[in-house]
């Protein structure tokens, strides 16, 4: 899947300047089949919701960040406010309408 073509702001945490404002963290891993099923939904959401920034974080490449957000199952979604405070958390597959509700 050509993630670089998406409007998702994909980066390795700490290697690029962190976006300011609300953003969604998606914790994933290459071997996580449920995680790969979330990408299409996120692609569509980034087209529909202006200023939606999504950080896709591979737990194997960023284990300290996964530990910080207590990632014990995948996928895991964490919504942060502009001060990096956690607003909402969800572990596992989430329905598109439920996730969209986080941004209304």
Going from N- to C-terminal start, the domains of the chain cover: 18-101
pTM of the model: 0.79
**How much is the pLDDT for 6?**
33
Architecture category of domain 18-101 in CATH: 3-Layer(aba) Sandwich (3.40)
Tokens at residue 103, please? 């941004």
What is the C-alpha separation between 3 and 39, in angstroms, rounded? 9
Return the HEC string of 14-75. CCCCCCCCCEEEEEECCCCHHHHCCHHHHHHHHHHCCCCEEEEEECCCCHHHHHHCCCCCCC
Q: What is the mean pLDDT of the chain?
A: 79
pLDDT in tens, 24-61: 899 999 999 999 889 888 888 877 776 778 888 899 98
Region 68-83: mean pLDDT is 92
């Amino acid at each position: 899947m050509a993630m670089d073509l998406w409007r998702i702001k994909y980066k390795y945490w700490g290697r690029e300047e962190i976006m300011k404002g609300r953003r969604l963290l998606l914790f994933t891993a290459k071997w996580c089949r449920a995680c790969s099923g979330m990408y299409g939904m996120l692609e569509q959401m980034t087209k529909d919701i202006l200023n939606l920034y999504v950080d896709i974080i591979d737990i194997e490449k960023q284990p300290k960040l996964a530990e910080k957000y207590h990632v014990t199952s995948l996928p895991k979604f964490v919504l942060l406010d502009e001060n990096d405070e956690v607003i909402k958390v969800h572990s596992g597959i989430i329905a598109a309408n439920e996730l969209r509700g986080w941004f209304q």
